[in-house]
Structure 1
Amino acid sequence: MIVPADSPFGPENLPYGVFSTGGGSPRIGVRVGEQVLDLSVALGDAGFAEPSLNAFMAQGYDRWVDVRGRIQELIAGDVPAEALHAVGEVTLHLPFEVADYVDFYASEHHASNVGRLFRPDAEPLLPNWKHLPVGYHGRAGTVYPSGTDVVRPSGQRKGPDGPAPVFGPSTRLDIEAELGFVVGTGTPANTPVSPDEFPRHVFGAVLLNDWSARDIQAWEYVPLGPNLGKSFATSVSPWVVPILALAEARIPLPGQHDPEPLPYLRESRPWGLDIELAVRWNGQQVARPPYREMYWSPAQMLAHLTVNGASARTGDLYGSGTISGPEPAERGSFLELSWGGRDPLTVNGESRTFLQDGDEVVVEGTATTGSGTKLGFGEVRGRILPAR
């Protein structure tokens, strides 16, 4: 099978997804170049005729390695024509059944920016931030596949000078450009996962947009954190990039943790990922958030998620939190890019701060590979509809 050498979906990648053709049943495929390889046909395995990745992911690390090797061997030769479908001719679906959803807050740059905006008279980082990966528990039922429209949420909001809260559609609707990590192999209750065990439990990564109603969030988040300002919609990309494909993208975390994390968060070789996102607002690129700048690693987030005895389950999704770098053009939310609305962006000639009805946001992502080419995540896309 011929795949262009510079394709972001070459043999080093092979992301998994769920697709259908002609109104048929959804099934599991792998993207190879600009085609989707139907695994049930190509490998002669009825297990890949399932409408989600969950059953395959639950089979564990050794199975993931074996199937990946078989696919790479297969595409190095001739692939049966009936096993291939053009990407543009298939319908892509949510690739896995979401068991639980947790979103973290792992970027020091993002957390510091939000602290300055929400608490201008206090220290940007709260005292716990450098001791543990802060997170909140979201709603699995409102995780949607890329391309699903997002209805503007309504809720309580109160301006700084308002005498009382009011109810209505959010006027400060935002994005959060993130990576999401998908648990493949779960754990029993009361069985914490150490950071070094991460590769045997986490199957892959997706692009994630945690849509956020900042005015609802600002009024509700003290003292228990985000709820309705976040729970209305989270979008994920259709392709799950295997953790096995990201080995060459591993890099050291940016600097030493200070203070040193508690023992359960220590890794033998702390690592991050050299992944760069691009955010497009109505077609115009407005930011390039760098995942390599994250303070807490994916493995540390999983360790923290399970340390209290909570089980991990196949299909669990946990997000990195907004990815932001040190430069203004590297900020992964419009809250930061417009500095709370004070510094509007110019988008296609218009002065903009937060999302308007009809706006569309696309987040794309690429990682480094051993050959020097870029490995692609595809995109996560969403359009804003008016409140109902």
Structure 2
Amino acid sequence: MSALFEPYTLRDVTIPNRAWMPPMCQYSAAPDGPLTGAPTDWHFTHYAARATGGAGLVIVEATAVSPEGRISPYDLGIWNDTQVEAFRRITRFLAEQGSVPAVQLAHAGRKASTDRPWAGGAPVGPEAHGWQPVAPSAVPFDADHPVPAELTKDGIREVVGQFADAARRALAAGFEIAEIHGAHGYLIGNFLSPHSNHRTDEYGGSHENRTRFALEVVDAVREVWPDDKPLFFRISATDWLERDGWTADDTVRFARELHAHGVDLLDVSTGGNASGVRIPVGPGYQVPFAARVKAETPMPVAAVGLITEAEQAEKILANGEADAVLVGRELLRNPSWARQAARALGGEVRVPEQYHRSV
């Protein structure tokens, strides 16, 4: 049997295969009005296509736990019940197609309040639906970003509560798996890295202090997320800095801690917290970071990073480098990538009856 098309069970949720769709922002929600942050017809069509195409797990893009937690004014959110109702249409359809619906809960931190990438991605102010970003320290992402407001301890507690509230709503919306976004230079990653966290209180300095906020979020979400449903955590395994950044060694240590706090799988990416760094991008370039976590900790892992070919994905799993693969850009190009990979590898995926002539 193809390793890519073996089912995978975490807690009481069985994912039918290991070809998964990662969270990829669409920047297509309304920026204001009663439907702010709610998924639209675009989102339904986008995610439905990947489910009918055979992806075993579909992780909905970064979904903000508060209005201020969005990357852009056009991001999804799950801070109110109107958004919950709109998500139900998506989760119901994904489940009907045999895909497991998951959602990434996020807060953008110091990289919040920016325009859509195709409009330049620059920071935006109130005149363009923008707001004041927050962070662990008053340190901007780069010279083009504003200085973020440093979160007070009360502010930190408020955000922890927002993650828990978002998890409750995600459950009500029909999601089977929740993922906490701790990667790519957003708020949780800001706290983890000494590059962006210059605090001198119990949330800064040592590894224990810099990971405190992340673990408080995990504990708050795990408390409200059912015991029979998995919890994922996405991490940037390295800042790609020579010094004074988050490292692969930090990630291995933290993976053990996350596992002890009830996280079921680490979604291993890299970068995004420091501007101007050189990243050696190439096929599977982030897989070694996932492989190291899998080899040195009890934490299951999913690998990402220019995984585009069926044989490449199969080899990663067969070699024991990861437990699943997240196929991003290729799924944007080809919504039926999983179905075509199954044909190439001799695996099986559910094919909608309406598409039976394609088998």
Of structures 1 and 2, the one with the larger relative CO (CA 8 A, separation 6+) is 1
Please classify the TM superposition score into its range, dividing by the shorter chain length: under 0.3
Greater helix share, structure number? 2
Which TM-score applies when normalising by structure 2? 0.28
Q: Would you tell me which structure has more strand in proportion to its own residues?
A: 1
